[in-house]
Structure 1
Amino acid sequence: MQSPKRVRKADFPWWLVAACALALAAGLAIAGNDVYAQVFATVSKGVGITVFVTLVAFVLASAAGLGIALMALSSSLWLRQAARFYVEIIRGVPMLVLLFWVAFVGAPGLVAGWNWLTLPLQDAGLLAPAMVRDVSLLWRAILALAIGYSAFIAEVFRAGIQSVDPGQVEAAQALGLTRIQRFRLIVLPQAIRTILPPLGNDFIAMVKDSSLVSVLGVADITQMAKIYASGSFRFFETYSIVAYIYLILTVGLSMALRGLEQRMRRSHSRD
Structure 2
Amino acid sequence: MSELIQQFFNVDIMRQAFPYLMSGLFVTITLTAVLAPLGFACGLGLAVMSEARPAGVRWLVRAWVNVFRTMPPLVLIVITFSALPFLGIRLPAIICAVIALLLNNTAYYCEIIRAGLGSVSPGQMEAARSTGLGYKDSLRYVVLPQALRNVLPDLVSNTIEVVKATSLASIVGVYDLLYSASTIRSVTFNTSALTLAAIIYLTILLPAVRLSGRLERRPKTV
Same fold at TM > 0.5: yes
Which of 165, 169, 173 is 1:217 aligned to?
A: 173
Structure 1 stretches of 4+ with a deviation exceeding 3 A read 106-109, 255-259
Cα distance per residue 1:184-204 (max 9 Å; x no partner): 211111112112111111111
- In structure 2, the partner of 1:251 is 206
CA distance in 2, matches of 1:107, 1:146: 19
Please give the TM-score of this superposition, normalised by the length of structure 2: 0.87
Q: Pick one of 43, 65, 72 that aligns with 2:43.
A: 65
Q: CA deviation at 1:40?
A: 2.4
CA RMSD of aligned residues (A): 2.3
Partner of 1:190: 146
What is the correspondence of 1:59-208 to structure 2 with a 5 Å cutoff? 59-106=37-84, 109=87, 112=88, 132=90, 135-208=91-164
More relative contact order, 1 or 2 (CA 8 Å, 6+ apart): 2
The 8 Å contact of residues 93 and 172 in structure 2, kept in 1 or not, is answered as yes
Higher-Rg structure is: 1
| Greater displacement, 98-107 / 144-153 | 98-107
Q: Deviations over 1:116-162 (max 9, x none)?
A: xxxxxxxxxxxxxxx61xx2211111111111111111110101011
**Structure 1: gaps (5+ residues):** 1-29, 113-130
Give me the TM-score of the superposition, normalised by structure 1. Answer: 0.72
How far does residue 97 in structure 1 lie from its aligned partner after superposition?
0.5
**After superposition, what is the alpha-carbon deviation per residue over 1:205-234, rounded to whole angstroms, capped at 9, x for unaligned?**
111111000011111001101111111111
Identical counterparts, % of pairs: 31
Instruction: State the number of aligned residues.
Output: 213
Structure 1 segment 230-249 matched on structure 2, within 5 A: 230-235=186-191, 237-249=192-204
In structure 1, distance between residues paired with 2:189 and 2:157: 34
**What stretches of structure 2 of length at least 5 have no aligned partner?**
1-8
Are the aligned partners of 1:107 and 1:140 in contact in 2 as well (CA < 8 Å)?
A: no
